[in-house]
């Protein structure tokens, strides 16, 4: 396969079909825009499996995704997308950069979900933007509104699904792109790399914050998330 792009957590390869790609999920972990680097054992296969499970949940809620099928233990076959250069963050609780920016303690639930937009640029450190900035980056306001609506639909599907399995969806990052027909689809991944998952009973972190903050136990946390979302719904 011809390698098209390698990022911090994935490698994208052109498939035999010009409109599809193979995406490989890596074991490498980074934080601080690449300042911290390490390896989490079997992270790639676990993130692949978590992403597939959660993308199927949001597809059932009417959100189009790039996912086609799994390949091997750490690849997916996906539709090729022209990625929109915005990261869309949905927040249900105060945590991470929101807590730092506002000087608030982590953990408090928000009255309603907050949607934030960040310009996807490693060189600039993925800065927070307001929607009015988006046209300066080649993204029209109609697209921004569509991304917000889709992101909130993802949240409405995932938050109760995860809570049924003892996981609080604190916040998460999404990336979207357009397929060959121009349809906006969810791309990238939904995993402990891109979401804050907390245990609903203890608030134990089950995501990449364990790596960012030097807590250890990253592989065990990722495995626990996968175990819970792959299990049948309690009482079903």
Q: pTM of this prediction? A: 0.95
Predicted confidence (pLDDT) per residue in 146-164, tens digit: 999 999 999 999 999 999 9
Give the structural domain span for 48: 2-79
Asked if residue 76 lies in contact with residue 48, where contact means CB atoms within 8 angstroms, the answer is yes
The answer, yes or no, to whether residue 1 has pLDDT greater than 90, is no
- Reported as a pLDDT band with limits 50, 70 and 90, residue 233 is low
Which of 35, 63, 79 is the last residue before a domain boundary?
79
Verify that 146 and 69 share a domain, yes or no: no
For residue 144, being part of any structural domain is answered with yes
Verify that 26 and 109 share a domain, yes or no: no
In degrees and rounded to multiples of 5, residue 90 shows phi and psi of -110, 130
For residue 207, being part of any structural domain is answered with yes
Predicted confidence (pLDDT) per residue in 130-142, tens digit: 999 999 999 999 9
Verify that 52 and 163 share a domain, yes or no: no
Verify that 57 and 89 share a domain, yes or no: no
Beta-carbon contacts of 75 under 8 Å, excluding residues fewer than 6 positions away, are 22, 23, 24, 25, 48
Burial (CB count within 10 angstroms: exposed 0-12, middle 13-18, buried 19+), residue 28: middle
Verify that 74 and 87 share a domain, yes or no: no
pLDDT at 32: 74
CATH number of 109's domain: 3.30.470.20
Compute the Cα dihedral for 143, 116, 133, 127 and give only its sign.
negative
Predicted confidence (pLDDT) per residue in 49-97, tens digit: 999 999 999 999 999 999 999 999 999 999 999 999 999 999 999 999 9
């Amino acid at each position: 396969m011809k390698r098209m792009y390698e990022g911090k957590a994935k490698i994208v390869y052109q498939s035999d079909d010009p409109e599809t790609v193979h995406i490989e999920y890596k074991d490498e972990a980074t934080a601080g825009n690449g300042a911290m680097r390490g390896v989490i054992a079997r992270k790639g296969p676990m993130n692949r499996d978590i992403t597939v499970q959660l993308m199927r949940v949001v597809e059932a809620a009417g959100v189009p995704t790039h996912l086609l099928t799994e390949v091997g233990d750490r690849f997916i076959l996906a539709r090729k997308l022209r990625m929109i250069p915005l990261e869309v963050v949905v927040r249900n609780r105060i945590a991470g950069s929101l807590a730092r920016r506002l000087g608030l303690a982590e953990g408090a639930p928000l009255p309603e979900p907050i949607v934030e937009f960040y310009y996807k640029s490693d060189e600039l450190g993925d800065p927070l933007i307001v929607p009015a900035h988006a046209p300066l980056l080649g993204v029209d306001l109609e697209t921004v509104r569509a991304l917000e609506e889709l992101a909130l639909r993802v949240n409405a599907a995932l938050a109760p699904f995860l809570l049924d399995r003892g996981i609080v969806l604190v916040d998460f990052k999404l990336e979207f792109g357009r397929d060959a027909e121009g349809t906006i689809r969810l791309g990238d991944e939904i995993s402990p790399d891109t979401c804050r998952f907390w245990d609903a009973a203890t608030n134990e972190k089950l995501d990449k914050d364990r790596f960012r903050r030097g807590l250890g136990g990253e592989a065990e946390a990722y495995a626990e998330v996968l175990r819970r979302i792959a299990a049948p719904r309690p009482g079903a």
